[in-house]
């Protein structure tokens, strides 16, 4: 499979590996948005979070939890981000969690700054999506 992250796992291409568990691996992003920008990925190729088994999912987020302490110690604030699907901005189609140190002076903002404006949903629309999504 022609997947850059699978090639990192199989050591076909090098990466600055920070930590590893049975199902997951953490390494530095090669094009960091901040010093210490790290990625946590499952060792098996899955495109989306919901495609992983619950064991892989638990293992992945356990490694995120471990690495968050390290990464967050750099600036005291961290952006945790997952682009789950191409239209959400996912450029590498292999699940990855970004851990990006944030600081007051960086160029990023709160999540609402990613969009031009909030939707201004009506109460009935909010109710509709509440009913669609609740389990």
Give me the active site residues, please: 96
- Residue located via tokens 């005291």: 76
Q: How far is CA 71 from the centre of its chain?
A: 14
Binding site for ligand 5GP (CB under 6 A): 4, 15, 27, 29-31, 83, 89-92, 96
Q: How many residues bind Zn ion (CB under 5 A)?
A: 5
Contact partner at residue 30 from ligand 5GP, Zn ion, none, CB < 5 to 8 Å by partner kind? ligand 5GP
CB atoms within 10 A of CB 113: 8
Judge whether 18 and 71 are in contact, CB under 8 Å. Answer: no
Radius of gyration of the chain measured on its C-alpha atoms: 17
Find the binder of Zn ion among 29, 33, 45, 75 (CB under 5 A). 45
Of 85, 105, 99, 111, nearest in space to 41 by CA: 99
Q: Is residue 94 at the binding interface for Zn ion, with CB under 5 A as the rule?
A: yes
Q: Is residue 74 at the binding interface for Zn ion, with CB under 5 A as the rule?
A: no
Q: Is residue 23 at the binding interface for Zn ion, with CB under 5 A as the rule?
A: no
Residues making contact with Zn ion (CB under 5 A): 3, 5-6, 45, 94
């Amino acid at each position: 499979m022609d997947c850059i992250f699978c090639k990192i796992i199989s050591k076909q291409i090098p990466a600055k590996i920070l930590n590893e568990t049975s199902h997951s691996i953490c390494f530095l992003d090669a094009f960091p948005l901040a010093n210490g920008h790290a990625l946590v990925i499952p060792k098996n190729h899955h495109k989306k979070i919901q495609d992983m088994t619950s064991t892989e999912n638990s293992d992945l987020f356990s490694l995120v939890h471990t690495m968050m302490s390290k990464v967050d110690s750099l600036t005291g604030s961290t952006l945790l981000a997952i682009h789950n699907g191409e239209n959400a901005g996912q450029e590498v189609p292999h699940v990855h969690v970004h851990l990006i140190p944030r600081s007051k002076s960086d160029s990023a903002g709160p999540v609402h700054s990613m969009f031009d404006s909030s939707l201004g949903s009506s109460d009935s629309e909010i109710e509709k999506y509440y009913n669609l999504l609740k389990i």
